[in-house]
Structure 1
Amino acid sequence: MNAYAPHASTSFEARTLALARETFDIEAAAVLGLKARVGIAFVNVVSLMLANKGRVVVMGMGKSGHIGRKIAATLASTGTPSMFVHPAEASHGDLGMVTAADIVLAISNSGESQEMAAILPMLKRQGTVVVAMTASPHSSLAKHADHWLDTAVDKEACPLNLAPTASTTAQLALGDALALALLDARGFRAEDFARSHPGGALGRKLLTHVRDVMRSGTEVPQVLPGAGFSELMREMSAKGLGCAVVADARGQVVGIFTDGDLRRLVEQGTDLRGKIASDLMHRSPSSISVDALAVEAADLMETRRITSVLVQGEAGDLCGIVHVGDLMRAKVI
């Protein structure tokens, strides 16, 4: 039969979608099963990790190892010092990375991993606390651990009930629950998260301040209140920001003149030849503190529908200017 015949294609499509939906159902049931069983053991482990002065060292073989790497990364990025150590490598020297001050989070669905069993005696001898994340409290790993977290599932999503699927989903969900419970208990804030993600979008938004992106000194288009119209235009053209700040001899801001103001005056037929800056400027321009976050400057520009914001000190003195292009280059917006 032609595999690409319409009825064959329809049968394949139906089977494929049915398996996908069944996978979602089985894995969702696995996670909801954890919700029903989580209890004081989970609270005790969170308390233990919260009080720990060392690191959480996550271990796991095979698919559990892949999950373990993700859990270690999530813990580390949410305020709990953590690292992943491969159990097989631990038997060949990497166990030296683990100290008595650490907590080992050992992940194994069966709890019978030979590589994990080989290093348990050494961990116990040096006094390292072991938390087992397994499906059975009667497994070798659970019996030798100080604490046990239940990750049992009714069945794998795999049609053969062989490939780790629902079980690894349950492990990942429980690891996320640990990380988030610890995050909350530590009072971990968005700013703390940003510090461990300085290269990401959130890091740039929460760590970049106005002082980091503003233009200052001779880069700021600036004229005195008595500057003539020609001088005003030359300063605006030279600095290319579409505006000029009007500040007195002490550096105090008294107003601003923008290309939008120029356009409106021209449309009104205003004779600009005899005008000076103080005649043309508008007072009380939008400004922001040098210590503000750059994202606040972006919000101000969006709200006021402007492209530049003045940066002023507490005394009203001109510190600099931020243009929308500066924020885009810094990838704040």
Structure 2
Amino acid sequence: MKFVDEAIIKVEAGDGGNGCVSFRREKFIPKGGPDGGDGGDGGSVYLLGDEGLNTLVDFRHSRQYRAQRGQDGMGRQCTGRKGSDLHIKVPVGTRVRDLDSDEIIGEVLADGQALLVAAGGQHGIGNVHFKSSTNRAPRQSTSGTPGDRRQLHLELMLLADVGLLGMPNAGKSSLINKVSSARPKVADYPFTTLYPNLGVVRLDERRSFVLADIPGLVAGAAEGAGLGIQFLKHLSRTRLLLHLVDLAPMDEHDPADDARQVLEELEKFGADLCDRERWLVLNKSDLLDDEAWQARLRHLTQAIGWQGPLYSISAITGAGLEPLLRDLMARLEAIWLAERRQPEDPDAPWDPLA
């Protein structure tokens, strides 16, 4: 199934019910006075986070949503029934933007979280509220106000702790296949990954993290080339990036060119993603002897000026994966601890290793 990460829908909240003009009419009470009741409030529209969903594909066929209108007021000071709210289920990680104002309404970041996207109209009031000593038979009432009507742009950005990036056939799918229960397509040709995959990497019963694999990047991805432009934004919510480089390409081209190309696309896409903490992971160590591997490793790091964390692995045999996963888990635990501490003192400088 093709991954769908954007959708445009129209939502309409319910209008408020109108107030009622009515007079009490009972036998032997010829001048009972006004008794028109208020209308009911209109129903609102909410987006509801559902961790069981992972795409926006349902919104391809159903694009209009309308909450219930409030009931009009009635005689005997009876208030109209409030319109039922409408809850639309969306995947966790959905960002909502108003197309007309270009305003970011909010994000749904947790299972069960309800985000108000269209408020229902207010009820009108009946003529019972207008009676006074000088106006004993009021014929005034107010109409309910209309509910909000909006065109919404929904954008899904996956929630993961670690994101994989690299050129096509760098071994991203093989890696997530090896370390988690995710089973993305793996083959010996480019662009086997056509939509993001999420896998849970579990070191033991209490220690785990989520790994995201996105389609490979090509030159010009930040301008729309290839598949990567549709999914680069998914990496913006990750805490750490693993940059995979194939150090033993089949066509014998220079792996440093691939590494530089990915870095250029990150810079074009945005400074926030380019500045994200990134580790370099050199894949396919099983295809070269130790001497040739070390020679290519030195050439690559010198060519791109790399000074950050560096790991050599084989996603097929599993060589080098244990220290990589152990260090990733330790680093994420330090980041999570810092994130929990940070709200206690918002003015304190953030130290992810604190």
TM-score by length of 2: 0.21
Higher helix proportion, which one?
A: 1
Higher strand proportion, which one?
A: 2
